[in-house]
């Protein structure tokens, strides 16, 4: 990779965590965008040193834009917008719309993401085949991970502000979720 990397961001999507790196040659005008180490945009000899670079991230091609702004002299500020919002607002919105669990099993790392609006379940970047059913205290969404039985239980918290609580059970044992 290029030695001019000036900004690095991590973006967690349902299909994985993406590392976005931006290289900006302020003397040559060069701009390079890397996603997980792979070059996705290269522009050499840009005469305008400020502006935007737009690209897509993830299997669902979410729009991302790097904003390059001059902040005086030869100093620049770099910000990342995802899906039309600032990275922080995107992260906050994702925390409300998804539930994520990360765990190790049989010597391997797993990342399971539930998209609350669609009830889609992703594991290590793959959309899972699930079977949902209503039970006495809520719903259960079942799927297999590495031959192990997984179940996401959705139950009422009993409080209006908290709403629905989602728990991942792996072979009947609760897996702690990530807190954002």
Walk me through the domains of the chain, giving residue ranges and CATH numbers. 5-83 (2.40.128.180), 98-175 (2.40.128.180)
Please report which confidence band the pLDDT of residue 141 belongs to, taking 50, 70 and 90 as the band edges: very high
Please compute the mean of the pLDDT values over residues 30-44 and round it to a whole number: 95
Residue 2 has pLDDT above 70, yes or no: no
Phi, psi (5° rounding) for residue 119?
A: 65, 20
Q: What is the pTM of this model?
A: 0.86
Which range has the worst mean pLDDT, 8-22, 55-69, 162-176?
162-176
Query: Are β-strands 108-115 and 120-123 bridged in parallel, bridged antiparallel, or unpaired?
Result: antiparallel
- For residue 17, CA distances in Å to 10, 76, 77, 139, 168 come to 7, 26, 24, 28, 20
What integer pLDDT is reported at residue 1 of this predicted model?
54
- For residue 148, CA distances in Å to 18, 29, 38, 169 come to 27, 52, 33, 10
Please report which confidence band the pLDDT of residue 148 belongs to, taking 50, 70 and 90 as the band edges: very high
């Amino acid at each position: 990779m290029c030695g001019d990397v000036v900004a690095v961001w991590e973006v967690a999507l349902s299909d994985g965590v993406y590392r976005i790196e931006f290289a900006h040659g302020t003397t040559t005008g060069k701009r390079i965008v890397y996603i997980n180490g792979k070059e996705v945009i290269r522009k050499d000899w840009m005469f305008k040193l400020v502006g935007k670079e737009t690209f897509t991230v993830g299997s669902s091609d979410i729009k991302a834009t790097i904003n390059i702004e001059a902040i005086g002299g030869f100093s620049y500020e770099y910000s990342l917008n995802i899906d039309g919002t600032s990275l922080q607002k995107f992260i906050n919105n994702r925390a409300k719309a998804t539930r994520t669990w990360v765990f190790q099993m049989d010597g391997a790392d797993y990342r399971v993401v539930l998209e609350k609006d669609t009830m889609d379940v992703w594991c290590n970047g793959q959309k899972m085949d699930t079977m949902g059913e209503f039970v006495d205290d809520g719903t259960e969404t079942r799927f297999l991970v590495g031959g192990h039985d997984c179940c996401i239980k959705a139950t009422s918290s009993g409080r209006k502000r908290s709403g629905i609580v989602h728990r991942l059970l792996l072979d009947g044992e609760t897996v702690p979720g990530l807190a954002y």
